[in-house]
């Protein structure tokens, strides 16, 4: 009798576990990503200059900066050199290169890139990302140059073609 009760109780627990796990799986969208960090107030109003998302001249200038800017920066107390600018970590061939450094975003994946607001993207390049190899570029690049790089990076997620950045999945939140 006790054996049957244990089996019955165990069966109930398994059924509840299966139902619970399926509820968790179906409660969120497949491939759902955690929200992006909130943007500091100083960057909240940053927007791409008018027409630059699709301006081929601006995008070409952004590509040169992306591939050729040299920057010395410290990571884990050692001096590092980004000898090919952004391409040192993110790759140089927008058609086939995966990021060269682990943790670097792959700008070819539109479901990730399309989430970035103008302000978020500008902030991340300007300030870098703490506790990663992503250095701050604001001392090395002008504001215009940062926007040019962003306009170039954006083409990667659109088949290497200029496109407006007006995606419904853009996330925007500002630090309090």
> What is the DSSP track for 105-144?
--TT-HHHHTTB-HHHHHHHHHH--TTSS----TTTS-HH
d(CA 107, CA 114): 9
For the entire predicted model, the pTM comes to: 0.73
pLDDT of the residue at 96? 61
pLDDT of the residue at 66? 87
C-alpha dihedral sign at 131, 133, 134, 138: positive
- C-beta of residue 166 within 8 angstroms of C-beta of residue 53: no
pLDDT of the residue at 79? 64
The segments of the chain whose pLDDT lies below 70 read: 1-32, 70-84, 93-100
Pair of tokens at residue 146: 């940062």
C-alpha dihedral sign at 62, 88, 46, 111: positive
Residue 20 has φ and ψ, to the nearest 5°, of: -60, -45
pLDDT of the residue at 164? 96
d(CA 107, CA 23): 32
Angle between helices 118-127 and 143-156 (to 10 degrees): 120
Specify the CATH number of the domain 41-156: 1.10.760.10
N- to C-terminal Cα separation, the chain: 61
């Amino acid at each position: 009798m006790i054996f049957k009760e244990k089996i019955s109780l165990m069966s109930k627990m398994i059924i509840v576990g299966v139902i619970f796990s399926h509820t968790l799986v179906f409660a969120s969208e497949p491939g759902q990503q955690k929200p992006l960090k909130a943007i500091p107030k100083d960057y909240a109003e940053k927007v791409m200059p008018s027409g630059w998302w699709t301006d081929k001249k601006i995008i070409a200038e952004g590509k040169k900066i992306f591939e050729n800017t040299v920057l010395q920066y410290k990571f884990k107390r050692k001096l590092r050199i980004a000898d090919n600018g952004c391409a040192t970590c993110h790759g140089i061939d927008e058609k086939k290169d995966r990021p060269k450094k682990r943790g670097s975003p792959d700008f070819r994946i539109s479901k990730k890139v399309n989430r970035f607001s103008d302000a978020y993207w500008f902030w991340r390049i300007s300030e870098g990302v703490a506790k990663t190899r992503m250095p701050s570029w604001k001392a090395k690049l002008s504001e215009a140059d940062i926007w040019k790089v962003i306009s170039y990076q954006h083409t990667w997620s659109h088949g290497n073609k200029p496109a407006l950045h007006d995606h419904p999945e853009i996330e925007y939140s500002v630090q309090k």
